[in-house]
Amino acid sequence: MKWDWSAVGDFMPHFWDGLLVTLQALVLGSLISFALGLLWALLMRTPTRWVRWPVGVVTEFVRNTPLLVQLFFLFYVLPEWGVTFSALTTGVVAIGLHYSTYTMQVYRAGIEGVPAGQWEAATALNLPLTRTWTAVILPQAIRRVVPALGNYVISMLKDTPLLMAITVLDMLGEARLFSQEHFQFTEPLTVIGVAFILISYPASLLMRALERRLVR
C-alpha cells in the first residue's frame, strides 16, 4: 500500500470544513447537555410527584434509546408534524438532549455530595431557597462534577460522526465524501483518526489533571 501525500493535501480543505462542523456540534451540544442536565436534576428534587414522574420517564426513555434512533426521529419524523430544523441543528439538539440525561446523574451525585451541614447552615441563616441553591449548594456541587462533565464532552466528540447519518458533513462525513469521489480511502480516514486522537487524548489528560486539582 502506497501512501499518497497529494491525496492528503487535496483532502485538507475538506478536513477543515468538517472540523469546524464537528466543533460546532460539540460545543453547542455540550452547552445544551449541561443546561438541560442541571434543569432535570433540579426538577427531580422537587417535592411534587407530578413534576418528578414525567421528568423521570422522559430522561429514562432518552437515556435507554440509541442516539442514532433519536437522530432519525428528530430529522425524519418531526417534519411530518410540521417541525423542521437544519441537519446540523437537529444533530446539536439530539446530542444535547441525549447527553443531558447523563449529565443529570452527574449533577445529582454532586448535589447529594454536598455535606448536610451546608444545608443546615443556609437554613440557620434564613437564606431564601433560591439564594441557598445559587450561593451555597450549586457552586460546591458543580465544582465536584466538572471532571465528570468533561468526560462526557469527550464522549460527545466521539459520537459526532453519527451526525453523518442525517447528512451532516462533520470530519468523518467529509472524509467519506472525499473517498467516494476520489476512490482514496486510506489517507482521509487516517487523517480523521489522528485528528480525533489529537483532540480527545489531550482533553482526557486535562480532565485528569483538573480532577486531581479539584479534589485537593
Cell numbers 433540579: residue: 42
Nearest to 59 by CA among 31, 40, 45: 40
**What count of Cα atoms within 13 Å lies in the side-chain half-sphere of residue 131?**
7
Per-residue pLDDT in tens (0 to 9) along the chain, 216 residues: 566 777 788 899 999 999 999 999 999 999 999 999 999 999 998 888 898 999 999 999 999 999 999 999 999 999 999 999 999 999 999 999 999 999 999 999 999 888 888 888 888 888 888 888 888 888 888 888 888 888 899 999 999 999 999 999 999 999 999 988 888 888 899 999 999 999 988 888 887 777 777 655
Cell numbers 485537593: residue: 216
